[in-house]
Structures are given as structure tokens and as C-alpha cells.
Chains A and B, each alone.
Chain A
């Protein structure tokens, strides 16, 4: 058996059903039992691979794990890992599709908030490991040319718009207080998750601020994003917006379109 075939079938064994490890008898004939069942030997590798990936997902999705319980989370994470193995050796960004995976699962249909909670967890992870870049140098801003220029958000800046109170949910799970109560229907949030330096921060956004930042993120010029926002909020104050998010170090650069 060629090496590429050995590795492909090893991969299939590791990611396949628990019970199916013994099915590929031709593959099993490649190994020596040496007094220990070959299926058992293969299971050590299967467990090692999957447990490592479950651990990564557990670290990335702490709020989800608390909400659904450790046991169910481990089952779902195992299934996810088998169906969505990493495509690279960079595990810092493994699990991006997990929120959608949760949303599509039959068992989680009653937990309407779970997708957004998972996405919020993911954004913390994405901001934490985002490439380091510098905040906008305000000396590069020119009031005359700014309208036709494009502002760019920092690599660590992410936006989320949810019908659920995500910050309260994450705080609720992190506090681990058995007497605490959480009203899941207490209102949605629009949030900016970013990491100006070392620590991830969350900024609650007004609707007009969210529209602005979302449009900026899409690459539109300042005059275009301003027009979009003013169409919805005719009292929007661009100067205050600019001052606020420059002070939060949300932008990385400004340049011609």
C-alpha cells in the first residue's frame, strides 16, 4: 500500500464512526497486533486526534459549553471535528463554522440564541489572535479629502448584531452563580468586538454607529457610508462618531478608494 493511501485510510479511520474502526480489514492488515488488538491500537490515535480538537473548541466556545452542558458539548464538538477537521496546522483559528453547525443541528433547534452566542464566542477568539496592526495615525486624516477616502477597521475589529443580550449571557455564564437569573428576551445588542492592544474589548453600539461601521467594513468611501447612515438617522453626528472610534483605536488606516 502506497504511503498516500495509508495516510488517507488512517484519516478515514480517525474521523469515521467509532464502530467503523474495524471495518477496513485490508487497512488493518497493514499492522502488527503484537498481543494488543489492532482496533484498540487505532482507537488510541482516534481518541488522541479528536480529544485535542474537542479541547480547542472548548477553549474557543466557553459560553456555549456552559449553556449546553459539558457532556452535550463534547458530543457535538466530536461530531463537528469529525465532519469539519482542521484544514491547516493553525489551530488558533479552528472552529469558525461551529456556530452554523450548532444552528443546523436538530437537537439545538429550541435554543434560538445559541448561534449568536457561539458567534460572539468566536469573535472573542478571532480578535484575540488577529494579526497585530497599528491604530490610525490621525496626522494622515485630511478633512478635505476624507469624504472620498476609505477608512479601514483594525484586523481585530468585528461587528455583531443579535436579537439576544449577548454581553449579559456571556457575563451570566462566566460568573457561574447558581442563584443568578437571566432573561433571554431582555433585548438584542449591536456590538463591536476588538483588541486595541492585548485585551479583547466589547463596545455597545447605537444603531447609527453600527450602520456606519458595517458600511466602512464593506469598503465604501466615507461620503457613501455617511449618506447611507443619514438616510436612516438624519440626526447622525459624524464628528462625534469619528472622535469616539479614533479614541477606541478602531481604525487602522485611511486611503484613497
Chain B
């Protein structure tokens, strides 16, 4: 069900790729991707990195000639009580018009408050007020772009005492009330479940069928938090951990074939390491779905 507040038509995201696994295109990979054309289905970029002009856009253009692109924004601040920044929306829309990404996503979190934009994925209390805020901001974004977007579940390191609902209910409601898709970040589910003593499998099982439009996989880092506790931080600086692969297979079994991204943003490894992780995700996806030929 698609719903837009001003009844403008909303375009559906593109078809699921024959190769549904993508990798993040970062500055260090510009030349390697164009020269070696790795066997991945698509590339993901943060549109904010392409604000302004210059060499970054040149490299994106070259990569776009070879691959489909997804835009994964980090700065819309969909959870801000202050609303969205119209300039930020316009800059992204201009990029969408040029590069025609097959997916557009941002997070169910916030960055901006007053005159400060903290440029991070900060946590929301899961209350009706927060839900209304995100719904309003997602609706405005979809209306402005004239297309359906995806909203991603965040990693979190702290939980609010007055939550009215579980995070998965919050995500389901955003999708139900806006018609957006859910970007299910499997690593984030694992991280928040560890940090708040929740069950990650219960989370994935509770996400409504038909709402998941993309999955993300990444590596976390573990830190001693005292009191014989550890905390997981979503650093995107490691290979995907084994329990997250297991959770991913469960996610695929529940939600079917889904475009999947290998995210790696810090301590970047050689490009081939990402490609190997993408191979692993593809194999696991097809094996789980019993698509025999592709898992060979």
C-alpha cells in the first residue's frame, strides 16, 4: 500500500537485481571499481559526499556507467523534531535527477537540533510523538522526491526508559503509515539486541512480511563496558561477524530475496575483501532460498 500525503504518484523502486548484492563505493575504491569491474550487483554511496562539485562526481559518473547505484543518505535527520532541512532535500533531489539511483534510504534516527547538525545517527525514544515526527519527515521526503524511500533501523547504545513500543513495532508503523520500505540492517539489529539484552531473532520475525526492501551487513567492534559487560559499536570497520551471518540467513528465510549491501566505512580493506564478503552474502542468500544454481 502506498500513501503520499499530497496524493502525488510514487514510483516503486527498481526490480530486484539478478545479482542482489552490492558494496559501498568509497573514495579509495574509485579507480579499482572502474578498472576491475568486480562482480557485484550494485554500488551504494552516501549522497552527502557528492554535495558541491569536483572530482568525486566525476568518479561517481564513471561508476554509474557500469553499475546501478543506491543512495544511502546519512544526513536527512528523519527523526528531528525540528523537521527537515529543505536545502539538504534539494541537494539530494538534484543528485537523484542526475544519477537515478534505484534505491534511496536514510535512518530512523536524528542528527539535527536547533542550529547544530551533529552528523551522526542518534537514538530516538520509541514513542507516539517520535513516530509522528518520523512519519511526517518520511512523508515530506517521499513527496519531495516523488518516490518511495527506505527507512533503516539504527544501531543504538542507549535505550529510553519511556519507550511505548519495541523498535520493530516502531519500524513497522513507519512503513505502514508512510508506505516506505524498511531497510533492515542485520548488523544493527544484532548490535542493539546485544546492547539492550533483546532477542535479535524475535526482532526479525516481528517485521511485517513484504515491507523489507533492502538488507545491510557490516562489522561491529566490541568494547569493555565495565561490570563484566561489553558494548557493541557499529563501526563498519570489520568483516561481518558469524552471528550476524546466521541472523542474515534467518532474515532471508523470513523476508525472501532482498537487495543486500556489504557496508565498510572505516579501516578500509582491499576492494577484493568487500567482493569476497559480497560473494558470501550472495551464496548464503541463494542457499537459504534453495536457489541451487546460483549457490554453486
- Using a CB–CB distance below 8 Å, which chain A residues touch chain B? 1-4, 6-8, 10-11, 14-15, 29-32, 34-38, 40-42, 44-45, 48-49, 52-53, 85-93, 128-133, 155-156, 195, 198-199
Q: Which of A41, A44, A85 contacts B118 (CB 8 A)?
A: A85
Q: How far is the CA of A90 from the CA of B48 in the complex (A)?
A: 6
- Closest Cβ neighbor of A47 among chain B residues: B233
Q: Which of A10, A45, A93 contacts B113 (CB 8 A)?
A: A10
Residues of A within 8 A of B162 (CB): 1, 30
Cβ B227 vs Cβ A37 within 8 A = yes
26 contacts between A and B (CB under 8 A): A3-B124, A3-B129, A4-B81, A10-B113, A30-B125, A30-B162, A31-B158, A32-B160, A34-B196, A35-B227, A36-B195, A36-B226, A36-B227, A37-B226, A41-B158, A44-B231, A48-B120, A86-B118, A89-B88, A89-B111, A92-B52, A93-B52, A129-B54, A131-B53, A132-B57, A198-B54
- Closest Cβ neighbor of A35 among chain B residues: B229
Residues of A within 8 A of B130 (CB): 3
Instruction: Identify which of B49, B113, B226, B227 gathers the most chain A CB atoms within 10 Å of its CB.
Output: B113
- Closest Cβ neighbor of B197 among chain A residues: A34
Residues of A within 8 A of B58 (CB): 198
Q: How far is the CA of A120 from the CA of B56 in the complex (A)?
A: 21
Q: How far is the CA of A155 from the CA of B53 in the complex (A)?
A: 10
- Closest Cβ neighbor of B233 among chain A residues: A44
Residues of A within 8 A of B123 (CB): 45
Cβ B113 vs Cβ A11 within 8 A = yes
- Closest Cβ neighbor of A195 among chain B residues: B54
Cβ A128 vs Cβ B82 within 8 A = no
Q: Which of B55, B127, B161 contacts A29 (CB 8 A)?
A: B161
Residues of A within 8 A of B11 (CB): none
Q: How far is the CA of A30 from the CA of B160 in the complex (A)?
A: 6
Cβ B75 vs Cβ A87 within 8 A = no
> How many whole Å from B45's CB to the nearest CB in chain A?
14
Cβ B225 vs Cβ A86 within 8 A = no
* Chain B 117-137: CB-based contact to A (< 8 A → 1; otherwise 0): 111101111010110010000
Which residues B77-117 have CB closer than 8 A to chain A? 77, 80-82, 85, 87-88, 91, 110-117
**In the complex, B159 has a CB within 8 A of chain A:** yes
Cβ A30 vs Cβ B161 within 8 A = yes
Instruction: Identify which of B51, B54, B122, B130 gathers the most chain A CB atoms within 10 Å of its CB.
Output: B54
Q: How far is the CA of A198 from the CA of B61 in the complex (A)?
A: 13
- Closest Cβ neighbor of B112 among chain A residues: A89
> How many whole Å from A191's CB to the nearest CB in chain B?
19
- Using a CB–CB distance below 8 Å, which chain B residues touch chain A? 48-49, 51-58, 74-77, 80-82, 85, 87-88, 91, 110-120, 122-125, 127, 129-130, 133, 157-162, 195-197, 225-227, 229, 231, 233
Q: Which of A7, A38, A89 contacts B81 (CB 8 A)?
A: A7
Cβ A89 vs Cβ B158 within 8 A = no
Given contacts A35-B227, A36-B229, A128-B55, is CB(A8)–CB(B114) below 8 Å? yes
Cβ A42 vs Cβ B116 within 8 A = no
Cβ A90 vs Cβ B227 within 8 A = no
Q: How far is the CA of A55 from the CA of B133 in the complex (A)?
A: 31
> How many whole Å from B47's CB to the nearest CB in chain A?
10
Cβ B113 vs Cβ A7 within 8 A = yes
Cβ A129 vs Cβ B53 within 8 A = yes
14 new A-B contacts at CB < 8 Å, known A89-B112, A90-B51: A3-B129, A3-B130, A7-B81, A7-B110, A32-B158, A40-B231, A44-B157, A44-B231, A45-B157, A48-B233, A90-B91, A129-B56, A133-B53, A195-B54
Given contacts A35-B227, A90-B91, is CB(A10)–CB(B55) below 8 Å? no
Q: How far is the CA of A201 from the CA of B174 in the complex (A)?
A: 48
Cβ A89 vs Cβ B48 within 8 A = yes
Q: How far is the CA of A6 from the CA of B160 in the complex (A)?
A: 10
In order of increasing CB-CB distance, the 7 nearest A-B pairs are A89-B75, A132-B53, A129-B52, A4-B81, A7-B113, A85-B116, A41-B158
Q: Which of B55, B77, B159 contacts A89 (CB 8 A)?
A: B77
